Amino acid sequence: MKILLVDDDVELGTMLSQYLIAEGFETQLVLTGSAGIEGALSGHYTSDDSRHHAAGYERY
């Protein structure tokens, strides 16, 4: 499973990403809502874990 993790908190996002990788998931962390939307629309991910109040994401 390939997971797109969208979080504007670098420390928290990195920690969660490292945990998911250790559990065997392929994970990519992006730090802005716009990068998250771009990634989600790319079709390369099975799952998207987004914080809906992340910077740049409030309007979507």
Right CATH number for 2-50 from 3.30.1120, 3.40.50, 3.30.300, 1.10.10? 3.40.50
Domain segments of the chain as ranges:
2-50
d(CA 28, CA 1): 11
pLDDT digits (tens, 9 = 90+) for 10-58: 999 999 999 999 999 999 999 988 898 888 888 887 765 555 555 555 5
Q: Spell out the residues 6+ positions from residue 55 whose beta carbon is closer than 8 angstroms to its own.
A: 8, 31, 32, 33
pTM of the full predicted structure? 0.71
d(CA 25, CA 55): 25
Structure tokens at 34: 């716009």
CA distances in angstroms from 53 to 48, 57, 58, listed in the order given: 14, 6, 5
